Amino acid sequence: MARSTRTNDVHPITTRALEVLRVEDVTPGMRRVTLGGEQLRAFRSDSGYPVAEFRSSGFDDNLKIVFCHPNLDEPLVPTQGDGALAWPRDPRSITRTYTIRRWDPVAGEADIDFVRHGSGPATSWAYRATPGERVHVAGPKMSRSYPEGVDWALIAGDETALPAIGRWIEESPAGLRAQVFVEVAEPAHRQELPVRNGITVTWLSRDGAPAGSTPLLFDAIRAAPWWDGSVFVWVAGEATSLTPIRRWLRENRNVPKDHLDVVGYWRRSVDEPDVADSEPSEHEHDDLHDRLDLLPPFAVRVGVTVGLFDALERGPLTIPAMAAATQTHEQGLGKLVRYLAAAGALEPGHGDTYRLTAAGLELTDEWHTTEFDLGGIPARRELGVLALLAAVRTGKGDYESWFGTSFRELLRSEPAALEADEDEADVIADTLAKSELFSDVRTLVIAGRGAGRFAGAFVDARADVTVTVAGHPSELAGIRLLQGDRPRVVLEASSMLETRSDSPDGVLLANLLDLMPDEDAVHVLDRAGRSVGAGGSVFVFAAPLEHATAEDYEYEDDLLHFALTGGGSRTNAEYDDLFGRADLRVLERVTIGWGEVVFRLAPNY
């Protein structure tokens, strides 16, 4: 796995009340609302948690804005937790996500641009907002750097991407060349932007055509001159229109995954194709019966696994043609197709053909094909639900009896599992490595998921650090394949089940303890404490379960990990209990990311 061209600066998730300072129309199609207020500075929330000062350094940083439901007098705002938020569990809670067009920390101002279309809550608020009005926001929870190690950039999007594109043009590094394409509704919606040397901007006008309905952006990208050297591509806009663009960039231009950001900002409404449904609800509540039905999600995963949705993404097909394209049994596939049509993923086309619905088209994007492929690691993890009955009855799941190997062995031996762990670590690794918690550490041993990526981040961030990655031989072979050989990183076939003899300054257990039953976790903590040198520390990186802010998926992860490994998520009190049983005391507890923390521990002996 090549390292991403963009590094991440992850912030604890925060909420704050801001004030409308100014309102202006940038063009007839775009309104700018400037926000400010005391809570852009650091403060302590009403719930008692510290909130860091507002930060935004990435061109595509975003935040959520909380709007008031028309039947309420006040908006339903989240409550601040420790690096996370407790959102109201109320269907009348309304939020929308918007790009931060400009952030001026000296003036204490943030600009948010709103596209004028439809009559959703965000558009309506923006065109009624007046100076002095209060509004609650959440985030940004992460800033991503400008791409590094590339020769040029291709930046494209519709008007919803224009705030990010405008910030790119104004703030991108001076030596980075770029071709920029912007699609707008009409020529009057073009903006005056300070375009520097090395950047070309091409405006594309739909001239009355509905947003998301034309191939303007795709045609412009295909016709663009392809400059020599390494390219970074960023494209954003209507989600379904981006699918062929992403595919073309990957297949025809061979743009590597780590050089490509294609982001669906909104989705056209199926029922009202001329109205941009760019403000989808973020608090949908499914009927309990539908949520308990096992067949629909499994049938969709079968369709993804055999390549049915990818085959139909290229155009309507008959069932025999689908069977030929997917190399499946015609009768069996026909029954699957009929069911998926009844479920709303497919629909009849002309003659005997079937085609994708808007929901079915969504299943062709890269995220869904990765998550839903039954041969992939995410699905094989979800199938651990089969081990849940045994885990609840006996305290130990029976994954191995279903699949022939334990899930922990699968994580160690499967390259795809290792790659998924390294990808997940990529989000937080740079932020973790820069933490002052590790300022006195010169020799560090890392064990756990994503250890290779964490090791690379530490040697990149700290020139005086040497890192040893401890793991199984199969694990280390995968890390070497994904991360390559790095200076000051040693891959060592060893286990944290034994006391080390090299007395490192620190041992970092990264997302490791949740894969272990309590007795195993205590043993590993004890050995880590006995391994560090005098004055050394044991660091535990984990995501404690906070009942006040926990979402459904966090309890799902907890339950699945218990079925798969006998471990699972733990509360802060449960971690404290493990540390005490291992005779370790907590020196510091620091929130690093989105509810993730680092415990710094020292032996009591």
Please write the tens of the pLDDT for every residue from 66-109.
999 999 999 999 999 999 999 998 999 999 999 999 999 999 99
Cβ count within 10 A of residue 208: 7
**Tokens linked to 435:** 């933490």
Task: Note the pLDDT tens digit of each residue in 214-251.
Answer: 999 999 999 999 999 999 999 999 988 898 899 899 99
pLDDT for the residue 286: 45
What is the tens place of the pLDDT at every residue in 515-535? 999 999 999 999 999 999 999
Q: Is the peptide bond before 140 cis (omega within 30 degrees of 0)?
A: yes
Residue type, 564: L
Residue 38: both structure tokens together: 């005391």
The token pair at 207 is: 């001239």
Task: Name the pLDDT band for 3 (thresholds 50, 70, 90).
Answer: low
Q: Which domains can be identified in the chain, with CATH numbers? A: 8-144 (2.40.30.10), 152-266 (3.40.50.80), 288-374 (1.10.10.10), 417-603 (3.40.50.150)
Q: What share of the chain is helix, strand, coil (3-state, %, to 5)?
A: 35, 25, 40
Please report how many Cα atoms fall inside a 13 Å half-sphere around the Cα of residue 15, on the Cβ side.
21
Q: Please compute the mean of the pLDDT values over residues 406-424 and round it to a whole number.
A: 87
Range name among 18-22, 274-278, 502-506 with the lowest pLDDT average: 274-278
Task: Give the per-residue pLDDT at 290.
Answer: 63
Q: Are 172 and 6 in contact (CB under 8 A)?
A: no
Across the chain, mean pLDDT equals 92
Structure confidence at residue 359 (pLDDT)? 87
Q: How confident is the model at residue 268 (pLDDT cuts 50, 70, 90)?
A: confident
Lowest-pLDDT range of 265-274, 542-551, 553-562: 265-274
Report pLDDT digits (tens) over 173-183. 999 999 999 99
Assess contact for 217 and 237: CB atoms under 8 A. Answer: yes
- How would DSSP label each residue in 142-172? EEEPPP-S-SEEEEEE-GGGHHHHHHHHHHS
Residue 365 has pLDDT above 90, yes or no: no
Output the pTM of the full model: 0.82
Sole residue written with tokens 């003036």:
107
